[in-house]
């Protein structure tokens, strides 16, 4: 496995629609391993294949650091509710912006054995699913930001 270079805002690959994965190959397996390694090294929550320059419909997510999720060819089945909060992206380093997303998301995708499964998520997981699926369509969160982008370091989490 290897750490891959994360493409940043302005790189044309980030604005292209990804192609479906038709079979699990050693190259796809290697890409998935590299994506998880890159995600953890960058201390991110999610990473889509175009963020490492590969136009394949593959997403890796881990909202806890202990629960890796792989989505191959994910399709959004259902969303509901609404949440509004600051969102960042490994392809837009150091910046955050307020984005409204569904508070619930349900997808169907394939696992590493190309077996279909459904995944449901709320709150942060729902946000991550929607954010990463946008990448597969060539969209970044900055297109949805309500107000200005801010320096992520300036954000202080609310303490309840």
30, 132, 143, 159: the active-site residue: 132
Give the Cα separation of 160 and 86 in Å (integer): 17
What's the Cα-to-Cα distance from 10 to each of 22, 64, 98, 104, 138, rounded to whole Å? 29, 29, 20, 30, 12
SS3 call for 95? strand
What's phi and psi for 71, nearest 5 deg?
-125, 115
| Strand partners of residue 132 | none
Among candidate residues 61, 47, 62, 38, the one with its CA nearest the CA of residue 14: 47
Among candidate residues 4, 88, 86, the one with its CA nearest the CA of residue 39: 4
- Whether 132 is a known active-site residue: answer yes
SS3 call for 43? coil
Which residues form the catalytic set?
132
């Amino acid at each position: 496995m290897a750490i891959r270079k994360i493409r940043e805002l302005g790189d044309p690959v980030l604005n292209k629609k990804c192609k479906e994965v038709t079979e699990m190959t050693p190259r796809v397996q290697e890409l998935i391993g590299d994506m998880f390694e890159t995600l953890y090294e960058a201390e991110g929550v999610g990473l889509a294949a175009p963020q490492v320059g590969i136009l394949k419909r593959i997403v890796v997510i881990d909202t806890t650091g202990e629960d890796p999720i792989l989505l191959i060819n994910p399709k959004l089945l259902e969303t509901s509710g609404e949440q509004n909060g600051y969102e960042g992206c490994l392809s837009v380093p150091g910046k955050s912006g307020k984005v409204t997303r569904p508070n619930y998301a349900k997808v169907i995708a394939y696992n590493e054995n190309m077996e279909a499964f459904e995944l449901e998520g709320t709150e942060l997981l729902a946000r991550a699913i929607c954010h990463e699926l946008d990448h597969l369509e060539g969209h970044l969160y900055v297109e949805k930001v309500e107000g200005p982008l801010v320096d992520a370091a300036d954000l202080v989490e609310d303490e309840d």
